[in-house]
Amino acid sequence: MKFLIVEDELDLQESIVTYFEKDANICEVASDFHEALEKVELYDYDVIILDINLITGSGLEVLKALKKRKKSAGVIIISANNSLDDKLEGLDLGADDYLTKPFHLAELNSRIKAVLRRGKFGGDETIEFNEIKINTKSRTAYINDVSLTLTRKEYDLLVFFITNQGRVLSKEIIAEHLWGDDSDLIDNFDFIYVHINNLRKKMTGETAKYIKTAYGSGYKFINY
Amino acid sequence: MIASTIALYFYTKNLLKNEVEEELFSTEARIESAIKINDISFSLPPVIEVVEVKELEELFLKDTLIYDPSQNEDEVFRELSTFKRINGKNYRITVRNLVVESKDILIAIDVSYFIIILLVFLFLFYSNVEGNRKLWFPFFKNLEAMKNFSVKSEKQIVLVDSDILEFQELSNEISLLTNKVQDDYQNLKQLTEDVSHEMQTPLAIMQAKIENIINTNKIDDDQYKLFSSLQKDIQRLKQLIKRLTLLTKIENNQFINIDKVDIAASLGKTIQNFKELFNLEIGFQYKHPLFVSMDPYLVEVLCNNLISNAVKHDVKKDEILVSCSHNSMIISNSGEKQIENPEKLFNRFYRESKSNQSTGLGLAIVKKICDLYGFEISYKFHDARHIFTVNFRI
């Protein structure tokens, strides 16, 4: 996949690049408004990660330029501004998703995957991983074509794991993904273990082994 | 005024009486001398009567009623009877004078006096009141403006100018003071917003870097634990910022989307979410939808904060009860003892114990939302339960 990361905070830009290059993606960067505008007009990308609070101009203008040229890139806005108006304006202009800083890279990754799924398969949204098959439209999961009965949280967890395979997911990252950042209950992450254990039980036998414990308290979904 | 009118009445009455009597005496003297010179007695009843009598008596004055045929009624006369011996004959000379007219005059004088005094009094009273009103108008107008002044509003205070030096100075000082207070308040608010906003990016960088580190395979379990706990701290900061921004936004009146929202449905959704996530049992009772006009996002925040507060402080597990009536909702959880400072419960950063790591803003936000829409929130401890009631005042 070809990524364009539009972010004028170079440290953040670099971290995002590091994270996504691991999956053998090609990451290009734009560090200011004009560079972003130029690259968007010249080249094609699969995914554009767009900071809308650029010092030299608004990322929303980049988005407009992109849509004017009818480019099909998936666009995810990242913004330090948690205002609903900005969010709605971005989505109205054709952005596919909106993330407020600070965010977990795993969360960004999972959002990107979702955007790509919707873009590539035009409604028939499936995720496949060996014998696991997930239909994201009907929110159902199958192992060897046998349907799994999952709660909503278990289903979310499974999708999150598969889209972030090979990555270490700490309980903080998982908690925030499941709960959103509205919770004021951060001293209690025990509920994560309960959900993961239940998921493992339902996945049974060999399949459950994909979910590995990392560093004692984190998790990693890997193809063993 | 009445006393002076009464005094005037008696004074004039006395004056008129003396006048009448003087006239009677002088008439009598003239008659007497006329008799002396002409030696004839004449009468003109009822005004003058001269009668020969045998004996002389003391003179006397009296009031008498005499029928006056010309006016067809009894009139009051003042009568003077004197006994004189003139030219060797004894005479009784009686003169009378009509009193009625003098009484009418008396009343006329008194009434006109009273009316004049009354008019003067009214005139002075109203001119005084009007004068004072004009004089104090800028003062009261400015006082009213000060009462209506709110630090939170961005409107500047509008004061009336005055010709009076002291009032003008006062209003100048008020203008200066209120402008300064408003500026300070705006700056403070802006600071909260700016700081919150500026902290997001460094936090994002920290979080991204930590995530890259834990994915490098170059760390051991202990280091991972440290990084994981750093993630937790970042998340805490993040929530703190988010809540502070929310508080500021509510204070700034930035939630202007008003919708009819069903509180019962929102509670149901929140409860469902908590149940799924934490494997909890939460009792929920409601009969009808409860529609309230407010921002849909704030409804979520309201329900979420109250229920998460109950979940956090529920000492026995699964003892949370939520109910929703036609105009209020009640959220309660089990507790050991009454909280120590219930009046501080809704203050920002107030915590009963250091043990939990909540932001300390959840209930402050709840209170702010209630204040914004004029809802009434109350807390009580009853039967070993912490009970929060929100009355929507419908």
With pLDDT > 90 as the criterion, what percentage of chain B qualifies?
Answer: 29
Per-domain boundaries in chain B: 2-105, 181-251, 259-391
Question: Lowest-confidence range among A79-83, B263-267, B305-309?
Answer: A79-83
Residues of A in contact with B242 (CB under 8 A): 82, 181
* Statement to judge: residues A16 and A85 lie in one domain: yes
| CB distance B282 to B320 below 8 Å | yes
* Statement to judge: residues A116 and A136 lie in one domain: no
* Statement to judge: residues A104 and A69 lie in one domain: yes
Domain boundary among A74, A104, A120: A120
Domain count, chain A: 2
* Statement to judge: residues A108 and A174 lie in one domain: no
* Statement to judge: residues A115 and A132 lie in one domain: no
Fold of B259-391: Heat Shock Protein 90 (3.30.565)
What is the reported pLDDT for B101? Answer: 62
Mutate to test the interface with A, among B196, B197, B228 (most CBs of A within 10 A): B228
Domain limits for position A154: 125-221
Domain boundary among A120, A142, A168: A120
Quick check: B239 and A184 CB within 8 A?
A: yes
pLDDT at B104 over 80: no
| CB distance B150 to B178 below 8 Å | no
Of A106, A153, A171, the CB nearest to B211: A106
B345-359 per-position pLDDT tens digit: 898 888 877 666 677
* Statement to judge: residues A78 and A158 lie in one domain: no
C-beta neighbour count of B353 within 10 angstroms: 7
What is the reported pLDDT for B278? Answer: 84
Of B200, B245, B361, the CB nearest to A102: B200
pLDDT at A206 over 80: no
pLDDT at B164 over 90: no
Q: Where are the alpha helices (DSSP H) in A1-52?
A: 10-21, 33-42
* Statement to judge: residues A173 and A187 lie in one domain: yes
CATH of the domain at A50: 3.40.50.2300
* Statement to judge: residues A162 and A105 lie in one domain: no
* Statement to judge: residues A143 and A215 lie in one domain: yes
Residue B98 backbone zone (phi > 0: left; psi -120 to 50: alpha; other: beta): beta
**What is chain B's mean pLDDT, rounded?**
85
* Statement to judge: residues A84 and A171 lie in one domain: no
Question: Lowest-confidence range among A70-84, A207-221, B97-111, B153-167?
Answer: B97-111
Residues of A in contact with B272 (CB under 8 A): none
* Statement to judge: residues A28 and A137 lie in one domain: no
| CB distance A4 to A30 below 8 Å | yes
Interface of B with A in 199-258 (CB under 8 A): 200-201, 203-209, 211-212, 214-215, 219-221, 224-225, 227-228, 231-232, 234-236, 238-239, 242-243, 245
Kindly state whether A36 is in contact with chain B, defined as any CB-CB distance less than 8 angstroms.
no
* Statement to judge: residues A200 and A143 lie in one domain: yes
State the pLDDT confidence band at A124, using cuts at 50, 70 and 90. Answer: low
State the pLDDT confidence band at B130, using cuts at 50, 70 and 90. Answer: very high
CATH of the domain at A171: 1.10.10.10
Domain boundary among A105, A120, A135: A120
Angle in degrees, CA B22, B26, B31, rounded to 5: 145
What gap in Å lies between CA B240 and CA A182, rounded to an integer?
A: 11
Q: Whole-structure pTM over 0.80, yes or no?
A: no
